[in-house]
Amino acid sequence: MRSFRKRLFRATRTSSATAPPIAVCVIFAFCGHPSVMAVTGDTAFEISTPEVGHQLRVENGRVASWTVQTSDRGKDQVEVFDLNGAKQLSMNPLRSSADATRIAIWDVSVGSSGMVGIAADYSDESGRVSSALLLYSGADGSLLKAFSLPAEREIRKLQVGEGDRIWTLGMGSGAQDPAQVPAIIEYDSSGSVLKQFVPRSKLGTDAVILHEGMRFGGDVSFGIVSGWLWFYLPESRQLTRMRLDGSGLRNVTLPALPTPSSSEVLETLVRVSSLASFDRLVAHVSFREETRNESGLFEWTEATNSWKSLPVGEVSAMSATFVGLKDGELALEFFTRKAPTRRIHWVPLPSE
């Protein structure tokens, strides 16, 4: 899905002086006309997502659902639901650009106030690509602000934090020196830059461009928890965290995750999520082999600096995708092609 999206935009970006080549690969491609079914105990609901290529995120008591890429201006690309399945907001960021013919949405975040932040790339008829940050009202879904971003500020991950401040993890350094480009930028609700942190030169092999996908060991992950910001880079297994004022910055190289006993493992895909504290992580891991795939949940703690397998009760981790956390429960999305549906299971996690 991501590799297709970046191939779509590669011609202009990589031929210009403002962006390096992109190195990512396919992670998932959803087929058919799926819906989303969230399951909490005996309660279930469905959210219609009639197009191929959707992503979900559970955050602040809401479920954001968005189309990864499209050229259809007639259908809203982003929807927000409550946990009972009632639609609250519907947005069409493609319409916010008069010249754009296609949009690719990298990330969506819903703040505690309801404000929605969207990181997107736009493509016009000539193939020129521009990046943008868009902010929408949590009251009615109206567009509050839209900002064009230079290549060195293209957003890969974002989170709307307290006071509707927007925290972003950048995609790459563009044509700039990575030492002069911040990896983390904090914006206020009007789109003005408040603070910048972590020079990209500190990101090792990800200094020029973030690497992710099965060839690189998994997904880039990013979040804010208990006053700390953290992000995880799969190729280097580097976990970086800091307080929101920039203090306490620390990098930790996580140990390799356990693999199946089989020697056939070809690729590993890791999705990491932080729990109630920044020193405890949970990873969903998929191992692709010659003849089969395996999946599992693992927990890392700083105290042990090791991974341990997590039981998930009646819900299998096979084919699951992280979509968020709620009250100590892990939200895992399962895709079923037969219906087709996507189901969200709330998986209670063991206490420390």
For residue 58, the cross-strand partners are 63, 324
Please state the length of the chain.
Answer: 352
Question: φ and ψ at 148, to 5 degrees?
Answer: -80, 140
* Tens-place pLDDT, residues 102-135: 999 999 999 999 999 999 999 999 999 999 999 9
Percent of the chain, pLDDT > 90?
50
- How far is residue 183's CA from residue 199's CA, in Å, rounded to a whole number? 6
Question: φ and ψ at 295, to 5 degrees?
Answer: -140, 160
Structure-token pair, residue 64: 């954001």
Mean pLDDT of 187-192: 92
- Mean pLDDT for all residues in the chain: 79
Which residues are CB-neighbours of 229 under 8 A, at least 6 positions away? 167, 184, 223, 241, 242, 243, 244
The pLDDT of residue 239 is 92
End-to-end CA distance of the chain: 36
Please compute, for residue 19, the number of CA atoms within 13 A of its CA located in the half-sphere on the CB side: 25
Q: Position 75: which residue type?
A: K
Residue 339 is given by DSSP the state T
- How far is residue 232's CA from residue 223's CA, in Å, rounded to a whole number? 9
Lowest mean pLDDT among 96-100, 110-114, 193-197, 286-290: 286-290
Of the ranges 38-42, 212-216, 240-244, the best mean pLDDT one: 240-244
- How far is residue 344's CA from residue 170's CA, in Å, rounded to a whole number? 29
Structure-token pair, residue 157: 């991950």
- How far is residue 317's CA from residue 84's CA, in Å, rounded to a whole number? 23
Which residues are CB-neighbours of 304 under 8 A, at least 6 positions away? none
The pLDDT of residue 85 is 80
